[in-house]
Amino acid sequence: MSTVRIWKRPPFIKRAWLRWSLTIGGGLFVLVAIGTMDVNWQRVAAGAPRAERFIASFFPPDFASKSSDIWEGIFESLWMTVVSTVVGILLSIPIGLGAARNLAPRPIYLFFRGVLAVSRTFPEIIIALFAVKLFGFGPFAGIIALSIGSIGFYGKLLAEDIEDMDPVQAEAVKSTGSSWLQWLNYSVQPQVTPRMIGLAMYRFDINFRESAVLGIVGAGGIGATLLTTFDRYEFSSSATILLIIIGIVMAVEYSSGYIRKWVQ
């Protein structure tokens, strides 16, 4: 009775025919997709020296000639970012609480999940187009767009973090006879705060980068200045703007890492 018992990990998809047809079908799809991509290699070759010239024209970055426009745009972008991040997060706290399955009754949960789904459906740039039509050109439209975008992002992640919390800690605080607000403050908040602070920093970063794009549709920020420099072939000024954006994003990145470690 000492037969060797062979063991193999059971396959993820049990039905052999389904497993094979998915594998082969997926492989074919990728091949066909690559095959239909019509790359004109001659044009690529011709473009290479032009790209070289184009990139070379960014150097050296010109910090001087348009500096007042650039700094004005950067500061506008920055305060749009600050305002929209704060407004977005403040509004997404009640929405996130409502959209957490373990906190809210079913109808409220469904309603707030709906709100979050809608606010995440449209990219910020589309909301900005609407906002520009509604409120006119300028940073206010951008702030509206970024705030709505922040709600969709932050509210959803907050709701999910609350759903993932340890229910026993929450139960323990509830069993002391605390009110609902006290219960939130003593059992839910400590469990979600560190992650939510990290995400707030991340959203600040996203909003700043988005604010550079929104200027293109006239919703304020550095984007408008960037677009103008491109249109006028002032690439050395464009380079300056891009460098400043990179610098600010990196600064946010490093400080968020530091802050996250500190609040953990």
Partner 1 sequence: MLRLEKLTKQYKTGDLALKDIDLLIPDGQVMALIGPSGAGKSTLIRCVNRLVEPTTGTIYLNETELSSLGQGELRRARRRMGMIFQEYALVERLSVMENVLSGRLGYVSFWRSYFRKFPQTDVDEAYRLLERVGLDHMADKRADELSGGQRQRVGICRALIQNPELLLVDEPTASLDPKTSRQIMRLVCELCKERKLSAIINIHDVFLAQMFAERIVGLQLGEIVYDGQPDGLTPDVLTTIYGEEDWESTIEKVKEEDHEEESKDSIFLASAK
Binding site for partner 1 (CB under 8 A): 166, 168-169, 171-179, 181-183, 185-187, 190-191, 193-194
| Pick 148 or 165: Cβ nearer partner 1 | 165
Q: How far is the CB of 110 from partner 1 (least distance, A)?
A: 19
Task: Provide, rounded to whole angstroms, the least separation between the CB of residue 171 and partner 1.
Answer: 6
Shortest distance, position 182 Cβ to partner 1, whole Å: 5
Give 25 or 190: the residue with its C-beta nearer to partner 1: 190
Does the CA dihedral 123-124-127-132 come out positive or negative? negative
Q: Shortest gap between Cβ of 176 and partner 1 (angstroms)?
A: 5
**Nearest to partner 1 of 209, 260 (CB atom):** 260
Q: 187 vs 240, which CB is nearer to partner 1? A: 187
Q: Are the beta carbons of 214 and 143 closer than 8 angstroms?
A: no
Which residue, 247, 227, 225, 255, is CA-closest to 67? 225
Nearer to partner 1, 132 or 200 (CB): 200
The residues near 93 (Cβ < 8 Å, ≥ 6 apart) are 158
Instruction: Note whether 118 and 130 are within 8 A (CB).
Output: no
Distance, CA of 247 to CA of 74 (rounded, Å): 12
- Please check whether residue 248 is in contact with residue 73, taking contact to mean a CB–CB distance below 8 angstroms: no
Place of tokens 């992640």: 157
Least spacing, CB of residue 264 vs partner 1, in Å: 9
